[in-house]
Amino acid sequence: MPKRLSHEDLAQEARFVFKGTVQKLKAATMRDVKVDNRTAIVRVDEIIYSPEALSNFTGKNITVQLGGGKKIKKGKQAVFYTNGWLFGDSVAVQSIDHEDVAKVPAALATVAADPVQTLAHRDTKTQVELADAIVSGRVTSVRVPSDVVAARSVAVAEPTVTGPVSEHDPDWRIAEIQVDAVHKGSHAGPASLRFPASTDVMWHHAPKFHAGQEGFFMLHKPAKAKVAAAAMLSAPTEDTGDYVALDPADYLPFDQAEAMQDLLGE
């Protein structure tokens, strides 16, 4: 039997967390949802945190595909830990789990004034904790990795030499960062930060850097388990960069310096 996730783990895995009341079981607000005994219509009473796309559903009925194996009754209010699934006239979300409001720790069930900012702050806090190093500075240049340039030249000259480009090709770039200060870990000199320039659905949330951009950079080594698989997709083999940035919270502009200082305890 799989281990039940803690409230904290659920809060980390879910992007849309809300207090809701079950309106109807075995029903949906969208035609595209295949209804079964784990499908429910739930009224969103209060949003705890949310991505922008789901931030305006307070007071509305949505479809929840229930997870976690727990039963729930019509009229019952609970905290739902969910992620977006289908969007249309209404919205459908997939629940990782749900819990009786009274059983959820107050710190995790507190309704925020701005659920979107609350989620962004949580994401930044996570990246701060995971980062191998955190630096502040300025992007001095952005380039295509040198061995990728060479490979593309060969592909143009001899198109049969290389295979087809994946539809999810990250289109890697390397940002050279002038490091002014190190706030976590250790790093000396400039930093080379690899990031996907592609706007494909797989990569469009990743930060896109440009020359002159200033702020805080959360630096992750490419070989680290949580980033290794994505970092290796169509990765350069020689000019790889020192670090990889894949999460939108891997960068924070200087106008959010106070929030960063709070997270770093400075």
Amino acid at 8: E
What is the Cα–Cα distance from 9 to 131, expressed in whole angstroms?
19
Residue 105, domain member (yes or no): yes
Are residue 137 and residue 247 in the same domain, yes or no?
yes
C-alpha to C-alpha distances, 181 to 37, 138, 190, 246, 254, nearest whole angstrom = 55, 11, 11, 22, 13
Residue 136, domain member (yes or no): yes
What is the Cα–Cα distance from 63 to 39, expressed in whole angstroms?
7
Of the candidates 50, 77, 111, which is a domain's last residue?
111
pLDDT in tens, the chain (266 residues): 345 677 678 878 899 999 999 999 999 999 999 999 999 999 999 999 999 999 999 999 999 999 878 889 999 999 999 999 999 989 999 999 999 988 887 767 777 789 999 999 899 999 999 999 999 999 999 999 998 876 666 555 455 545 555 567 899 999 999 999 999 999 999 999 999 999 998 899 999 999 999 999 999 999 887 789 999 998 998 999 999 999 999 999 999 999 899 998 87
Q: Strands 61-65 and 91-100: what pairing?
A: parallel
Per-residue pLDDT at 2: 47
Here the CATH number for the domain that contains residue 186 is: 2.40.50.120
Are residue 53 and residue 156 in the same domain, yes or no?
no
Of the candidates 82, 111, 140, which is a domain's last residue?
111
C-alpha torsion sign, points 169, 171, 172, 175 = negative
What is the Cα–Cα distance from 261 to 266, expressed in whole angstroms?
5
Are residue 165 and residue 248 in the same domain, yes or no?
yes
Q: Which domain holds residue 107?
A: 7-111
Residue 160, domain member (yes or no): yes
Are residue 44 and residue 130 in the same domain, yes or no?
no
Residue 2, domain member (yes or no): no
| Residue 148: CB atoms within 10 Å | 20
Are residue 106 and residue 151 in the same domain, yes or no?
no
What are the DSSP calls for 4-36, one per residue? Answer: PPPHHHHHHH-SEEEEEEEEEES--SSTTS---
Are residue 99 and residue 227 in the same domain, yes or no?
no
Residues 6+ apart with CB under 8 A from 53: 84, 87
In the numeric block, the tokens 């080379």 are attached to 192
In the numeric block, the tokens 């320039």 are attached to 197
- Total tally of structural domains belonging to the chain: 2
Of the candidates 84, 111, 138, which is a domain's last residue?
111
